[in-house]
Amino acid sequence: MILASLGAILSHWRRHPVQLVLLVLGLSIATALWTGVQAINAEARRSYDEAASALGADLGVIVRSDGGPLTTEDFVNVRRAGWLASPMVEADFSIGPIDVRLVGVELLTLPRGATTLDLDDAEDPGAFFQPPGQFWVNERLAAQLERQETPPLRISDEVPANTVITDIGIAQSLLGASDISRLVLSGTQPANRTPLRDFAPHLEERAATDSADVSRLTDSFHLNLTAFGLLSFVVGLFIVYASINLAFEQRRATFRTIRAVGLSARMLSLILLAELALIAVLSGMVGVILGYVIASALLPGVAATLRGLYGAAVTGELGLDPSWWAAGFGISIFGALAAGSQALYRMLRLPVLSGAHTAAWFRSFTRDLRLQTVAAVALLASAVALYWTGTGLLAGFALLGALLLGCALLLPLPLSLATLAGQKLARSPLAEWFWADTRMQLPQLSIALMALMLALATNIGVGTMVSSFRETFTGFLDQRLAAELYVDAGSNERAEAMQSDLEGRVDAVLPLWRVQARLFGEPGDIVSAADHATFRDHWPIIEGAPRVWDLVASGSAVLVNEQLARRHDLELGQTIDLPGGWRPEIAGVYSDYGNTAGQVLAGLEAMRERYPSADHSSFGLRVAEDRVGALRDEIMAQYDLPGSAIVDQASLKQLAQQAFERTFIVTGALNVLTLAVAGFALFASLASQSSMRAPQRLRSGRLGFAARR
Amino acid sequence: MRHRLRMASLAMCGLLAACVIVFASTARSQSFAGLGTDATGFAVPERGRVLEFPQDHGAHPDFRIEWWYVTANLADSDGRRYGVQWTLFRSALSPGESDGWSSPQVWMGHAGLTTGEAHYSTERLARGGVGQAGVSAAPFAARIDDWALSSNPGSDDAILSSLAMSATGLNFSYDLQLTTDQPLIFHGDRGYSVKSSQGQASHYYSQPYFSAEGELEIDGRSIAVTGTAWLDREWSSQPLASDQSGWDWFSLNFDEGEKLMAFRLRDEAAGYVSGTWITAEGEALALSPDELSITPQATADACGTRLPVEWRLTSDRLGLDIATSPLIREACMETSILYWEGPIEIEGSHVGEGYLEMTGY
């Protein structure tokens, strides 16, 4: 009996394969986007953790208070004072066309636990720090570096993505400077060491390195992805909902027959539940595979974005984790049950001999509509509440979600009212039938329309946001990249020599000083502005005191970027605490697109005076546009600089724009996918609709209406 | 996390093992093979070379290995006994010195402190060339991190008449003043000390006459101490023969004023025994292998293995028949390479105290 019923119920799919495909596809797509996004997030987080543990980011450090580099003498003095500290240098470095993060460590003093590298299998450990040294890289980077000239490569999976770990001496000679970025501290320190302030007041101890902040910085990015994944899941569920309803509707007669021959409603619903579960598992499997495909297609873009935006290293490679399968099946079953629960519930309460069809549905729809409207109002109210009370990104997303879902749920009400009004105003029987019929379709159609509305709203929102970002960014680039040539001399000494050399040969030399500093306790930096028309004319100031550039040049005031000003409610005239006890006034706020960190712009002379050891290895050159190419070649030849060290404005803008476009590749892709899912939901819904309306069409045909008219 | 720590410590040990292979006095048997490797490119000790001071107190970067090794037998006002060890090892990956991180010199400091109840030890490592560690001859100063063995102002650097010696561990530290007016003692043939029957040798001299005075600090508690100290200076490029696996080394101060430095290098056969007898008048007599016998007695569980913590030393020529016993049996240096080093007491024909080192077991 049960088997026979099962056969009868399942035979439906044989007769309607398209429906089955729609259902499985809907569930798989919902599962796929969600698992794909989760996989990307998990992979990225794993990379952050690895980078942190491989480079001792969880250990305390000693750094210069002004953010400048430490010297070998600093290191020796710290050791002489009894501290167990190890020098580390970390910098961006190009090996041919490949950009890597170069990390130099000192193996003999490196604290235990500072690295997970298994340097044990080195046959000759002296080879690590005796020239030419060794490059420790992961397999992926090793493959990329194969054709480049490097010290012998050692491969270890423990090395973070895109990172070269080598001896500090080797790293320093490659970087052309004997700088030390920080001293990494052992977890346990002798008790009677001399406090830093007694012998090196310019140094300070910090809990951990800034790289631990990477996961904090990237949190918002991952939250974005998660929100997209969730949206796709919800939209996918609409498809599933439509397909399941259709399948249940079409089998109503079968169910009645089965019930009539004696199968209990309970057993029938169990059979249907099992059917749903089976379909869910099948879809889950397809979904996880699809999710993997999506994740691996998107991951390189995500990795590039994360690297470009936050300097976070993500491998760009994906492992197939068994926990995904579980999560994929779980979410697929959850989705199927969520979408099918209403149909199941209705089926349970189905009177065995009821002939009621669309009209009965519609009655329940009017009841549902009331509930739905109440829910929508509640959601909109919570959105308003969140607007007033919520802070932070998560609250922002919750607000958006509540607003979107509230609006979507509210959608059937005006539709229902409009069709009702139409029906009332209709003068001809055909028009009246049209309005009544349209109204009858609302229960089914509104679901798909709600899905489409959600996807469209998101699409338009994201599209507008990206294009307005692009516009602002392009404008910003024009203002910010005012110098025609930018030179990276590699070291401060070299930069100074080149600058005095070039003085007179160009219209202006604009030294660029930069210091990493804690601003309001968070990592940020202080950069210099030369007293030159370039800055006065071009710098994108949002809000500024009168004669702001004179104030900055005099050293009595600084500018802050918009991010810093907004985060800490800074106002003009207020003072700001900078390293080294400097407390200048804030004379203006400027826009600083894409920078997640706070930034302070200070006068060049003030920077020279306050932070003499600051990095100033780069500088800008103003020169007539027609001389740019020739001058670039001339400088490259004269100072034996690689092409990557001297960039003209046009290519820099192009690079920046490329980085920008890359940033939104993932957003764009998810946007399109979501819209596709919503379109699909509408299609599924209309298909279901049209099959349900077949009897009506037949009836109207009999009444004399041609199918085409 | 534990796994990571283990990997990291393995990594360190692996590196150290290779560096330390050449640190004769501290390696385990399997690592000792490295000491027998040939000294290509490195200078080798020459018989008849006259050592000059203060220059030879300093580093000899053309030789593969070198050490500055102080052991002190101390007591507090209540008569409780203590031992202190301060050692700086130098090892060259290739001959010579250069400034900066590319220096081929590697330095390792070991500090030990022994009480009647416990043994404390710690280690420091450093690269040469940057100033974190090194030795200068005049004024004499051997340093690694905040540890120092250095001349006080006015010290006669020819005999190292006045030194300050300090080291710090996580839960112990010491700060001692070492003074003497006695000359240096040269081992073997005027400081050319043969280490095997195949002719391996080192340059080796001592200043065994130090009076020591200062403070120990253990777990935040200070203890004033006085006693004696013994400085060993040795450098070479291939001190062990290929079949030698480790050694047992003694520095002994007898109550009547005599002193004895004795060592036994172990191999598959009878081993190679040698030493220097220093009379109460300060005359040094080199002892040939057949003039001295060093025999292990009772063993005990220490350093993760069975070690002969009691010894018998006899010499017909000197009329010597003594037995040594340790102040504490567990005097393990828990550094990258385990070895035993601690104060001992002497009974028998001569009475006194001294230091014992056992490596390569």
State the complex-level ipTM: 0.88
- Which spans in A591-704 are helix H? 604-610, 628-639, 649-663, 665-692, 694-702
Looking at A170, A191, A208, the residue that finishes a domain is A208
pLDDT grade for A68, boundaries at 50, 70 and 90:
confident
Looking at A158, A193, A208, the residue that finishes a domain is A208
Three-class secondary structure of residue A93 per DSSP = strand
In a domain, A256, yes or no: no
> Which CATH number goes with the domain that contains B280?
2.40.370.10
pLDDT grade for B1, boundaries at 50, 70 and 90:
very low
pLDDT of residue B36: 42
Most confident range, picked from A419-423, A451-455, B255-259? B255-259
CB spacing of A190 vs B169 below 8 angstroms: yes
pLDDT of residue B5: 28
In chain B, what's the furthest Cα-to-Cα distance?
60
Residue A28, C-beta contacts closer than 8 angstroms, at least 6 positions apart: A283, A284, A286, A287, A290, A332
Question: pLDDT exceeding 90 applies to what percent of chain A?
Answer: 9
In a domain, A167, yes or no: yes
What does the DSSP assignment read for B132-155? SEEEETTTTEEEETTEEEEEPTT-
Q: How many domains does chain A have?
A: 2
Å between A121 CA and nearest CA of chain B = 8
Q: CA–CA separation, A210 vs B56, rounded Å?
A: 48
CB spacing of B101 vs A114 below 8 angstroms: no
CB spacing of A192 vs B10 below 8 angstroms: no
A16-50 pLDDT tens trace: 787 788 788 878 877 887 788 788 777 777 777 66
* Per-residue b or e along A521-551, where b marks 16 or more CB atoms closer than 10 Å to that residue's CB: eebbbbbbbbebebbeeebbbeebbeebbeb
Three-class secondary structure of residue A108 per DSSP = coil
Return the percent helix, strand and coil in chain B, to nearest 5: 10, 50, 40
- Which spans in A188-321 are helix H? 196-199, 214-250, 252-260, 265-310
Where does residue B20 rank: exposed (0-12), middle (13-18), buried (19+ CB within 10 A)? buried
Q: CA–CA separation, A407 vs A451, rounded Å?
A: 11
Establish whether the linkage from the previous residue to A546 is cis, with ω within 30° of 0.
no
Q: Copy the structure tokens of residue A472.
A: 């602002």
B300-312 pLDDT tens trace: 998 889 999 999 9
* Per-residue b or e along A394-413, where b marks 16 or more CB atoms closer than 10 Å to that residue's CB: eebbbbbbbbbbbbbbbbbb
Half-sphere exposure of B104 (CA within 13 A, CB side): 16
B148-206 pLDDT tens trace: 999 999 999 999 999 999 999 988 999 999 999 999 999 999 999 988 888 889 999 99
Residue A355 has pLDDT above 60, yes or no: no
Residue A376, C-beta contacts closer than 8 angstroms, at least 6 positions apart: A405, A406, A407, A408, A409, A410, A413
B47-105 pLDDT tens trace: 999 999 999 999 999 999 999 999 999 999 999 999 999 999 999 988 999 889 989 99
Q: CA–CA separation, B1 vs A49, rounded Å?
A: 12
A99-152 pLDDT tens trace: 888 889 998 888 866 665 655 544 566 788 888 888 989 888 899 898 888 999
Q: CA–CA separation, A222 vs A275, rounded Å?
A: 35
How many angstroms separate the Cα of B266 from the Cα of each of B29, B194, B342?
Answer: 10, 14, 20
CB spacing of A169 vs B220 below 8 angstroms: no
- What is the 3-state secondary structure of A506-568? ECEEEEEEEEEEEECCEEEEEEEECCCHHHHHHCCEEEECCCHHHHHHHCCEEEEEHHHHHHC
Question: B133: alpha, beta or left, given left = phi > 0 and alpha = psi -120 to 50?
Answer: beta
Nearest to B133 by CA among B108, B112, B103: B108
Half-sphere exposure of A256 (CA within 13 A, CB side): 13
Residue A362, C-beta contacts closer than 8 angstroms, at least 6 positions apart: A439, A440, A442, A443
Contacts with A167 from chain B: Cβ below 8 Å? 101
Contact A116, A54 (CB under 8 A): yes
In a domain, A353, yes or no: no
Nearest to B64 by CA among B194, B202, B188, B207: B202
Residue B160, C-beta contacts closer than 8 angstroms, at least 6 positions apart: B57, B140, B151, B178, B180, B184, B207, B231
More confident residue, B32 or A552: A552
Å between A321 CA and nearest CA of chain B = 21
Of A63-67, A111-115, B154-158, B242-246, the poorest mean pLDDT is in: A111-115
If you search the block for the tokens 């798989």, which residue do you land on?
A28
Q: CA–CA separation, A322 vs A329, rounded Å?
A: 11
In a domain, A235, yes or no: no
Q: CA–CA separation, A43 vs A314, rounded Å?
A: 8
> pTM for the complete prediction?
0.61
Q: CA–CA separation, A106 vs B103, rounded Å?
A: 13
Contacts with B15 from chain A: Cβ below 8 Å? 107-108, 119-120, 122, 125, 128
Q: Which chain B residues touch A if contact means CB-CB below 8 Å?
A: 4-5, 7-15, 18-19, 93-94, 100-102, 104, 106, 125-127, 130-132, 143, 145-146, 168-171, 173, 217, 220
Q: How many domains does chain B have?
A: 1
A82/B contact by beta carbon, under 8 A: yes
A187/B contact by beta carbon, under 8 A: no
Contact A365, A442 (CB under 8 A): yes
Q: Copy the structure tokens of residue A46.
A: 């794993």
One-letter amino acid for residue B227 of the chain: G
Q: CA–CA separation, A245 vs A590, rounded Å?
A: 56
Cα B280-B286-B289 angle, rounded to 5 deg: 130
A651-675 pLDDT tens trace: 777 766 776 676 566 667 767 766 7
More confident residue, B207 or A478: B207
Looking at A575, A606, A622, the residue that finishes a domain is A622
pLDDT of residue A709: 46
Q: CA–CA separation, A178 vs B99, rounded Å?
A: 12
Q: Mutate one of A59, A77, A80 to test the B interface: name it (highest B CB count within 10 A).
A: A80
CB spacing of B4 vs A53 below 8 angstroms: yes
Q: Copy the structure tokens of residue A549.
A: 């550039």
Q: CA–CA separation, B102 vs A178, rounded Å?
A: 12
Give residue A554's domain range. Answer: 485-622
- Which spans in A115-167 are helix H? 126-129, 139-145
Give residue B220's domain range. Answer: 2-358
CB spacing of A117 vs B220 below 8 angstroms: no
In a domain, A145, yes or no: yes
Residues for chain A: how many in total? 709
